[in-house]
Amino acid sequence: MREIFRKKLGNMAGFLLAAAVILLIVAALAILGGAVMRVFGFEYSSVWSVILFFIIATILSLPVSIFAEALPKVLLKNFGMPRHTAAALYIVLDTLATAAGLFAVDFFMDSVTASARAVIAVSLMFAVWGVGDILGDDKES
Protein backbone atom coordinates (compact mmCIF):
# COMPACT_ATOMS: atom_id res chain seq x y z
CA MET A 1 0.00 0.00 0.00
CA ARG A 2 2.81 2.36 0.91
CA GLU A 3 4.53 1.72 -2.44
CA ILE A 4 1.33 2.57 -4.37
CA PHE A 5 0.99 5.79 -2.38
CA ARG A 6 4.60 6.78 -3.14
CA LYS A 7 4.11 6.03 -6.82
CA LYS A 8 0.92 8.12 -6.97
CA LEU A 9 2.58 10.94 -5.04
CA GLY A 10 5.57 10.86 -7.41
CA ASN A 11 3.27 10.98 -10.43
CA MET A 12 1.35 13.90 -8.95
CA ALA A 13 4.56 15.77 -8.13
CA GLY A 14 5.82 15.24 -11.69
CA PHE A 15 2.55 16.46 -13.14
CA LEU A 16 2.53 19.56 -10.92
CA LEU A 17 6.14 20.34 -11.82
CA ALA A 18 5.39 20.00 -15.55
CA ALA A 19 2.28 22.18 -15.17
CA ALA A 20 4.29 24.83 -13.31
CA VAL A 21 6.99 24.89 -16.01
CA ILE A 22 4.35 25.19 -18.76
CA LEU A 23 2.60 27.98 -16.87
CA LEU A 24 5.90 29.85 -16.47
CA ILE A 25 6.63 29.54 -20.20
CA VAL A 26 3.14 30.71 -21.12
CA ALA A 27 3.43 33.60 -18.65
CA ALA A 28 6.78 34.65 -20.12
CA LEU A 29 5.38 34.52 -23.67
CA ALA A 30 2.31 36.46 -22.53
CA ILE A 31 4.44 39.18 -20.98
CA LEU A 32 6.61 39.34 -24.12
CA GLY A 33 3.48 39.50 -26.28
CA GLY A 34 1.98 42.15 -24.03
CA ALA A 35 5.15 44.23 -24.26
CA VAL A 36 5.09 44.07 -28.07
CA MET A 37 1.38 44.84 -28.15
CA ARG A 38 1.81 47.79 -25.78
CA VAL A 39 3.97 49.51 -28.40
CA PHE A 40 0.96 49.31 -30.72
CA GLY A 41 -1.63 50.58 -28.23
CA PHE A 42 -2.42 47.60 -25.99
CA GLU A 43 -3.77 48.64 -22.59
CA TYR A 44 -4.30 46.43 -19.56
CA SER A 45 -5.12 46.75 -15.88
CA SER A 46 -2.55 44.24 -14.52
CA VAL A 47 0.09 41.75 -15.57
CA TRP A 48 -2.29 38.96 -14.55
CA SER A 49 -4.80 40.37 -17.09
CA VAL A 50 -2.18 40.04 -19.82
CA ILE A 51 -1.33 36.47 -18.83
CA LEU A 52 -5.01 35.51 -18.64
CA PHE A 53 -5.66 37.26 -21.97
CA PHE A 54 -3.02 35.16 -23.73
CA ILE A 55 -3.95 31.89 -22.00
CA ILE A 56 -7.60 32.19 -23.01
CA ALA A 57 -6.71 33.35 -26.54
CA THR A 58 -4.35 30.39 -26.93
CA ILE A 59 -7.05 27.95 -25.86
CA LEU A 60 -9.58 29.53 -28.22
CA SER A 61 -7.29 29.61 -31.23
CA LEU A 62 -5.72 26.17 -30.66
CA PRO A 63 -7.98 24.14 -33.01
CA VAL A 64 -7.43 26.53 -35.92
CA SER A 65 -3.73 26.83 -35.12
CA ILE A 66 -3.35 23.05 -35.33
CA PHE A 67 -4.93 23.14 -38.78
CA ALA A 68 -2.74 26.12 -39.74
CA GLU A 69 0.33 24.07 -38.90
CA ALA A 70 -0.83 20.78 -40.40
CA LEU A 71 -2.00 22.03 -43.81
CA PRO A 72 1.34 23.49 -44.98
CA LYS A 73 3.21 20.42 -43.67
CA VAL A 74 0.93 18.09 -45.64
CA LEU A 75 1.19 20.20 -48.78
CA LEU A 76 4.96 20.41 -48.43
CA LYS A 77 5.60 16.71 -47.78
CA ASN A 78 2.91 15.02 -49.86
CA PHE A 79 2.17 17.41 -52.70
CA GLY A 80 5.54 18.99 -53.37
CA MET A 81 4.62 22.55 -52.40
CA PRO A 82 7.74 24.74 -52.44
CA ARG A 83 9.20 25.45 -49.00
CA HIS A 84 8.79 29.21 -49.26
CA THR A 85 5.13 28.83 -50.28
CA ALA A 86 4.46 26.45 -47.36
CA ALA A 87 6.13 28.92 -45.01
CA ALA A 88 4.08 31.82 -46.36
CA LEU A 89 0.85 29.81 -46.10
CA TYR A 90 1.68 28.89 -42.51
CA ILE A 91 2.43 32.51 -41.58
CA VAL A 92 -0.88 33.71 -43.05
CA LEU A 93 -2.99 30.93 -41.50
CA ASP A 94 -1.33 31.07 -38.10
CA THR A 95 -1.51 34.86 -37.98
CA LEU A 96 -5.24 34.71 -38.73
CA ALA A 97 -5.84 31.96 -36.15
CA THR A 98 -3.98 33.79 -33.40
CA ALA A 99 -5.56 37.12 -34.28
CA ALA A 100 -9.05 35.60 -34.18
CA GLY A 101 -8.41 34.26 -30.68
CA LEU A 102 -6.97 37.56 -29.48
CA PHE A 103 -9.83 39.60 -30.97
CA ALA A 104 -12.41 37.29 -29.37
CA VAL A 105 -10.84 37.55 -25.93
CA ASP A 106 -10.40 41.31 -26.28
CA PHE A 107 -14.10 41.64 -27.07
CA PHE A 108 -15.17 39.87 -23.86
CA MET A 109 -12.41 40.89 -21.45
CA ASP A 110 -12.89 44.32 -19.91
CA SER A 111 -9.47 44.53 -18.24
CA VAL A 112 -7.62 44.67 -21.58
CA THR A 113 -7.99 46.79 -24.69
CA ALA A 114 -6.16 45.72 -27.82
CA SER A 115 -5.98 47.69 -31.03
CA ALA A 116 -6.13 45.88 -34.35
CA ARG A 117 -2.50 46.88 -35.00
CA ALA A 118 -1.41 45.35 -31.69
CA VAL A 119 -3.26 42.09 -32.36
CA ILE A 120 -1.91 41.76 -35.91
CA ALA A 121 1.65 42.64 -34.82
CA VAL A 122 1.84 40.04 -32.06
CA SER A 123 0.01 37.42 -34.15
CA LEU A 124 2.50 37.92 -36.97
CA MET A 125 5.41 37.82 -34.52
CA PHE A 126 4.28 34.46 -33.09
CA ALA A 127 3.63 33.06 -36.59
CA VAL A 128 7.09 34.04 -37.85
CA TRP A 129 8.58 32.60 -34.68
CA GLY A 130 6.88 29.25 -35.37
CA VAL A 131 7.64 28.96 -39.10
CA GLY A 132 10.70 26.85 -38.33
CA ASP A 133 8.39 24.06 -37.17
CA ILE A 134 6.99 23.83 -40.69
CA LEU A 135 10.31 23.92 -42.49
CA GLY A 136 12.31 21.97 -39.93
CA ASP A 137 10.73 18.60 -40.70
CA ASP A 138 11.59 18.58 -44.40
CA LYS A 139 15.33 18.94 -45.04
CA GLU A 140 15.24 17.44 -48.55
CA SER A 141 13.37 20.26 -50.34
Q: Does the pLDDT of residue 137 top 90, yes or no?
A: no
Spatial neighbors of 121 by CB under 8 A, at least 6 apart, are 36, 37, 39, 40
The 10s digit of each residue's pLDDT in 34-78 is 999 999 999 999 999 999 999 999 999 999 999 999 999 999 999
Q: Is 64 helix (H, G, I), strand (E, B) or coil?
A: helix
Query: Residue 125, SS3?
Result: helix
Tens digit of pLDDT for each residue in 115-132?
999 999 999 999 999 998
Q: What is the pLDDT of residue 3?
A: 85
User: Is the distance from CB of 106 to CB of 41 less than 8 angstroms?
Assistant: no
**Is the pLDDT reported for residue 32 higher than 50?**
yes
> Is 37:61 a contact under the CB 8 Å cutoff?
no
Report the sign of the C-alpha dihedral through residues 130, 87, 63, 45, in that order. Answer: positive
